Amino acid sequence: MVETGGGRLHQRRGAVAFVAANKALLAAAWVVGFALVFLWQSASMSFGSAGAGGAAGGGFLRLLSAPPPPPRPAPRLRPTAYNLTDFGAVGDGRAVNTEAFERAVETIAALAERGGGQLNVPPGRWLTAPFNLTSHMTLFLAEGAEILGITDEKYWPLMPALPSYGYGRERKGPRFGSLIHGQNLKDVVITGHNGSINGQGEVWWMKHRRRILNNTRPPLVQLMWSKDIIIANITLRNSPFWHLHPYDCTNVTVSNVTILSPVSGAPNTDGIDPDSSQDVLIENCYISVGDDAIAIKSGWDQYGIAYGRPSSNISIRNVNARSLVSAGISIGSEMSGGVANVTVENVRIWESRRGVRIKTATGRGGYIRNISYRNITFDNVRAGIVIKVDYNEHADDGYDRTAFPDITSISFKGIHGRGVRVPVRAHGSDVIPIRDISFQDMSVGISYKKKHIFQCSYVEGRVVRPVFPKPCENLDIYDEQGQLVKRAVALNSTELDYDI
């Protein structure tokens, strides 16, 4: 009996020692066991377990091996909807689907009197040459859908130069048409579950650098002389040239759009360029590209003056923009038809050469007026605010040397940031002065300690405190109550400390 009791005591001590030596292992085993019980119970609830323990076990196995959920179905936004595959398309990234897109658009065009139609592009890589849209059409890109522009330029049609430019923007003569195009349309929607349109621009950028293209490169999406346009919830990437170009359009909304291209080595890949367009809203967009993120235009020199169609009533808000080689938000330089009534608010511009810029020159003519910037944040930007009137790039030598643009009523309020080398560089000239410019509530942390970091010449306007850094003396200074503190001193030196 004593031996037996001693044996039991020895066994108990051995068990205690085992537990003490393997606490981590036992804890892990307990966690795994608890998780397995939880999953088994979940599977039983999902697949049924009453009187069917085997079925519950089968449900557990099905749960572990379940395939990923199917893609979200496309909502029906038109009375009639089609899938691109209905027209024989193959989304393998190799088959060319131009005919499928064309047949789909032709089918939808026949439905114009019945509310139009919707073309759903399912997940896949859909290679195509350029194609046209039609009125009363919705192009819907599913999650995982990517429309790819074919890289061989022989498949890209040539089109006449834009009438307000006179020539192709880069080469005289015809220009390449856009991948997705439309003219004289009404009620067009391009949207989706963040599917993408990819111009595969690398080949075009290389040919441009080597100067082996005979015509101006194509935009990615261009709609001309059209109205009631919505572009939302998609991604545009790697355009050969400008990404989105509404030309002489009315009532355009661009919302929740991501636009991406390399920030260097992708020349002239502007994000969104409203051109001679009215009633435009750009909101909730993320843009990181190889040129201006957004550039408002209205024609080039004498051709833009003759065309006479301004860009006006434009709102840009809630945008994140990056442009390592150019500017976050630009006006010009092609602005010969005029630019007016523009509001830019709640915009963050980061890691860019310039924050917001107005650029023009003698010969442009036209006007830039009633432009308001509010609540703008600069984050590591070389120059925050730039106004430049010697951007001497012309369509040809026939421009009018007496066509001086008028720059009036430009306001900046709530301008903040950090890591900015030059907060303001506003240089007019004796023939193109900058009138009625104002700065209010401005505080920009600077990264450059040179004397002239708030540069002005041929500028008339005012500063309403607080404004940091110290503004140039060309501007009247007012306190927070609107009382004049100091009159401006006309200092019109155009000394530059460095290239902006």
Q: What is the pLDDT of residues 348-372, one digit of tens each?
A: 999 999 999 999 999 999 999 999 9
Residues 187, 132: Cα–Cα separation, whole Å: 14
CB 116 within 8 A of CB 139: no
Report how far residue 21's alpha carbon sits from residue 15's, in angstroms, rounded to the nearest whole number.
10
Amino acid type, 444: V
Compute the distance between CA of residue 467 and CA of residue 348 in angstroms, rounded to an integer: 19
CATH code: domain of residue 460: 2.160.20.10
User: pLDDT digit string (tens) for 201-217?
Assistant: 999 999 999 999 999 99
Residue 32 in domain: no
**Residue 432 in domain:** yes
Farthest CA pair distance, the chain = 121
Highest mean pLDDT of the ranges 35-39, 135-139, 444-448, 451-455: 135-139
Tell me what the pLDDT averaged over the chain comes to.
Answer: 88
Average pLDDT over residues 254-282: 98
Residue 358: which domain range? 292-499
Q: Using omega within 30 degrees of 0 as the cis cutoff, is the peptide bond preceding 469 cis? A: yes
Query: Is 313 inside a domain boundary?
Result: yes
Tell me if 213 is assigned to some domain: no
Q: Is the pLDDT of residue 5 over 60?
A: no
Whether 80 is covered by a domain: the verdict is no
Whether residue 144 is contained in a domain is answered as no
Rounded mean pLDDT of 381-395?
A: 95
The reported pTM is 0.86
Alpha-carbon span 300 to 202, nearest angstrom: 27
Question: How confident is the model over 413-422, as a mean pLDDT?
Answer: 95
Q: Which phi and psi (to 5°) does residue 192 adopt?
A: 160, -165
Q: Which residue has the higher pLDDT, 54 or 186?
A: 186
286 CB neighbour count, 10 Å cutoff: 17
312 membership: H or E segment, kind and range:
strand 311-323
Please report the pLDDT score of residue 72 as a whole number.
87
Instruction: Say if residue 381's pLDDT is above 80.
Output: yes
Catalytic site residue 291?
Answer: yes
Cβ count near 466 (within 10 Å) = 11
Mean pLDDT confidence for 483-487 = 93
pLDDT at 42 over 60: no
What is the spatial distance between Cα 232 and Cα 188, in angstroms, rounded to a whole number?
11
Q: Which residue has the tokens 């006449």?
A: 160
Q: Is 48 left (phi over 0), alpha (psi -120 to 50) or beta?
A: left
Q: 249: part of which helix (H) or strand (E)?
A: none
Number of domains in the chain: 1
Band of pLDDT at residue 60, cut at 50, 70 and 90: very low
Residue 455, φ and ψ in degrees, nearest 5:
-100, 135
- The answer to whether position 424 is within a domain reads yes
Which candidate, 433, 437, 311, places its Cα nearest to that of 385? 437
Q: Return d(Cα 190, Cα 300) in angstroms, integer.
A: 29
Of 362, 287, 363, 301, the closest CA to residue 330 belongs to 287
% of the chain surpassing 90 pLDDT: 78
**Per-residue pLDDT at 382:** 94
Q: Is the pLDDT of residue 342 over 50?
A: yes
Q: Which of 187, 270, 273, 291 is catalytic?
A: 291
Segment 116-142 shows an average pLDDT of 98
Query: Does the structure show a pLDDT above 50 at 51?
Result: no
CA–CA separation, 347 and 374 (whole Å): 8
As a 3-state breakdown, the chain gives helix, strand, coil percent values, each rounded to 5, of 20, 40, 40
**Which residue reads 């030309």 in tokens?**
247
pLDDT computed for residue 453 by the predictor: 82
Q: Is residue 78 part of a domain?
A: no
**pLDDT score at 11:** 44
Length of the chain: 500
